[in-house]
Each structure stands twice: as structure tokens, then as C-alpha cells.
Amino acid sequence: MSTAVETRPEARTPGMWGASRLYAAGLVLFGVVGIFMSGLILHDKIMLLQDVGFTPACTLNDVVSCTDVMNSSQAAAFGFPNPFIGLVGFAVVLTIGVALFAGARFRAWFWYGFLAGLVFAVGFVHWLAYQAVYEIEALCPYCMVVWAVVLPLFVSTVVRVARSRSLDRGGVQSSGVAAVGMPAAVVVVWYLGFTALILQQFVF
């Protein structure tokens, strides 16, 4: 039992933080999904630029309309198509996940930098969601998958950083159930909030 505790990266080297295989696998999964969906959005955006009559597969009606979303000014918030941000950002997530799964550890400043990137991502996602629901008044299923991926990435990383800081200060590692249950509950409530706003805008 004592050997298991001594081999934890957090306990052995304060300031050099690793992560569980579950967290690392989550980064890999979310990174792959994010890259794939960003690629689909970019493909359809390029097709729309080449042919104004092109209809993306995710355009079903006036509400579920990737066409309206992709043709909006918000789809290029920084002067270029938003999917480029997703392709780069999720590639970083995937790379970090693979490294952690292989047993890598990173200095605390690296984790804070990663968390700062996710703060930007989750803020950007909320802005895009607001624009889609209340300004464009149309939904893009591909974009919504990206939103759904960013939220658990952010929450799980906040928890990961907080626990690593706690271990550096002599805290006790929480149980596996607590490590998964609390972040999962936060994400579920977040999803329910998004769903309620969408239903209120488009259904009720």
C-alpha cells in the first residue's frame, strides 16, 4: 500500500503533475471527437464558400440549420473560420492526453497554461451558443457536439489541477468514485441548463 502512494507523481515530485489513465483517456477521446467534428464543419464551410447552393448534411429545417450558422459572421469570429481554432486546440488536447496516458508529467505552470486555454474555450463556446440560440436563431448539430466536448474537458481539468495543488500541500487523494462523480454531476447539470434554454427558445 505504501509503495502505491510513493509512486504517485504528485506525491513523489511536487510541482510535477501527472494524471490518471481515466483522465488521460478522456482527453484522447474528446480530442479525437473535437478534431473530427471541427473537420466536418470546416469541410462544409469550404463547400459553402465554393457553392452557395450547397446544403450541409446537418441542415434539416429552419431551426436545425448548419447553413445559417456557417454563413453567419459569428462563424468567423476572429476573421477566419472558427473550425481552425478547433482543429488546433483539440490537436493540443489529444497530444497532451496521449502523453499523460504514456505516463508523462508536466510542471504546474504547464497545467495552468492548459487550464487557461480551456477557460478561453469554454467562454468562447458559451458566446457561440448564445449567438446561435438568440441571435442567429438556428442550431448546428456539429457545433453542439463541439460544445458538449469542451464542457467536460474544462470541468475535469479544473478538478485535476485543484487536486494536484492539494496533494502538493499535503492533501489526501480522493477516491475514484468522488473523482468521477462530482465532475460528472456538474457537467450533467450544465447540459440540462443548455437543453432548457434551447427548448425555451425553440419549443415553448
Confidence of residue 7 (pLDDT cuts 50, 70, 90): very low
Question: Between 1.10.3470, 3.40.50, 1.10.530, 1.20.1440, what CATH number should domain 15-202 receive?
Answer: 1.20.1440
State residue 182's pLDDT score. Answer: 74
64: which DSSP letter? B
Q: Given phi > 0 = left and psi -120 to 50 = alpha, else beta, which region is 79?
A: left
Are 66 and 141 a contacting pair, CB within 8 Å?
yes
Residue 180 confidence (pLDDT): 62
Look at residue 175 in the predicted model and tell me its pLDDT. 46
Supply angle C-alpha 66, 68, 72, rounded to 5. 115
Dist CA 135 CA 152 (whole Å): 26
Q: Residue 146's closest CA among 74, 196, 89?
A: 89
Amino acid at position 17, single letter:
W
Confidence of residue 154 (pLDDT cuts 50, 70, 90): very high
Beta bridge partners of 17: 106
pLDDT band (50, 70, 90) for residue 107: very high
pLDDT, one tens digit per residue, over 34-54 is: 999 999 999 999 999 999 889
**Where does the pLDDT of residue 16 fall: very low under 50, low under 70, confident under 90, or very high at 90 and above?**
confident
In the chain, the N- to C-terminal Cα span, in Å, equals 56
Statement: residue 23 has pLDDT above 60: yes
Q: pLDDT category, 178, cuts 50, 70, 90?
A: low
Of 172 and 141, the structure prediction assigns the larger pLDDT to 141
pLDDT of residue 173: 57
In DSSP terms, 139 is beta-bridged to 64
Query: Measured between alpha carbons, how far is 3 from 172 in angstroms, rounded to an integer?
Result: 15
What distance in Å separates the CA atoms of residue 179 and residue 44, rounded to the nearest whole number?
A: 38
Q: Where are the domains of the chain?
A: 15-202
CA atoms 195, 197, 200, 201: torsion sign = negative
Q: Would you tell me the crossing angle of helices 21-50 and 141-168 to the nearest 10 degrees? A: 150
Question: By mean pLDDT, which of 12-16, 97-101, 140-144, 190-194 is the weakest?
Answer: 12-16
Quote the pLDDT of residue 82: 96
